[in-house]
Amino acid sequence: METEMSFLSKSSSSSSSDDDIELRRGPWTIEEDKLLVHYITNHGEGRWNMLAKHAGLKRTGKSCRLRWLNYLKPDVKRGNLTPQEQLLILELHSKLGNRWSKIAQYLPGRTDNEIKNYWRTRVQKQARNLKIDSNSAAFQEMIHSLWIPRLLQKIQSSSVTPSIQSSQSSTPPGFSTSTSSNSSSHSCSIYNSPKITSECPKIPPREMDDSDLNSFVKAHFPFDNSYEMDNFGQLATGNFNDMMDYDQMSGDQNKLTGDVIADSFWSNMDEFFYQKTGYEQL
* 277 lies in the binding site for DNA (CB under 7 A): no
Q: Which among 175, 269, 147, 150 has a CA at the least distance from the CA of 231?
A: 175
Given 39, 106, 118, 191, the residue binding DNA (CB under 7 A): 118
Go through 133-157 and write b for each residue having 16 or more CB atoms within 10 A of its CB, e for each that does not: ebeeeebeebbbbbbbbbbbbbbbe
Comparing CB distances to DNA, the nearer of 100 and 223 is 100
DSSP 43-67: H-S--HHHHHHHTT--S-HHHHHHH
- DSSP single-letter state for residue 3: G
CA distance 90 to 101: 14
Candidates 118-126, 144-152, 181-189, 203-211 — which segment interacts with DNA by CB under 7 A? Answer: 118-126
Bridge partners of 223? Answer: none
* Neighbouring C-beta atoms of residue 168, cutoff 10 Å: 8
Rule CB under 7 A: choose which of 4, 19, 210, 280 binds DNA: 4
Least distance between DNA and beta carbon 150 (Å): 17
Q: Which is nearer to DNA, 169 or 280 (CB)?
A: 280
Rounded Cα distance, 243 and 237, in Å:
7
Other C-beta atoms lying within 10 Å of the C-beta of residue 42: 8
Q: Which range touches DNA (CB under 7 A), out of 8-16, 142-150, 155-163, 214-222?
A: 8-16
99 vs 195 by CB, closer to DNA: 99
| 202 lies in the site for DNA, by CB under 7 A | no
Residue 112 binds DNA (CB under 7 A): yes
Residues 128-167 vs DNA: string with x where CB under 7 A? ----------------------------------------
Q: How many residues bind DNA (CB under 7 A)?
A: 42
* Residues within window 13-42 making contact with DNA, judged by CB under 7 A: 14-16, 24-28
Q: Which of residues 46-85 bind DNA (CB under 7 A)?
A: 46-50, 59, 61-63, 65-67, 70-71, 80
Half-sphere exposure of 262 (CA within 13 A, CB side): 21
CB of 239 to DNA, least distance (A): 15
Q: Does 101 bind DNA (CB under 7 A)?
A: yes
* Cα torsion angle, 72, 75, 81, 85, sign: negative
179: contact with DNA by CB under 7 A: no
Question: Which range touches DNA (CB under 7 A), out of 120-128, 195-203, 204-212, 220-228?
Answer: 120-128
CB atoms within 10 A of CB 84: 27
Query: What is the Rg, in whole angstroms, of the alpha carbon atoms belonging to the chain?
Result: 21
| Rounded Cα gap, residues 170 and 209, in angstroms | 29
Sign of CA dihedral 43, 44, 46, 48: positive
Residue numbers at the binding site for DNA (CB under 7 A): 1, 4, 8, 14-16, 24-28, 46-50, 59, 61-63, 65-67, 70-71, 80, 98-102, 112-114, 116-118, 120-122, 125, 266
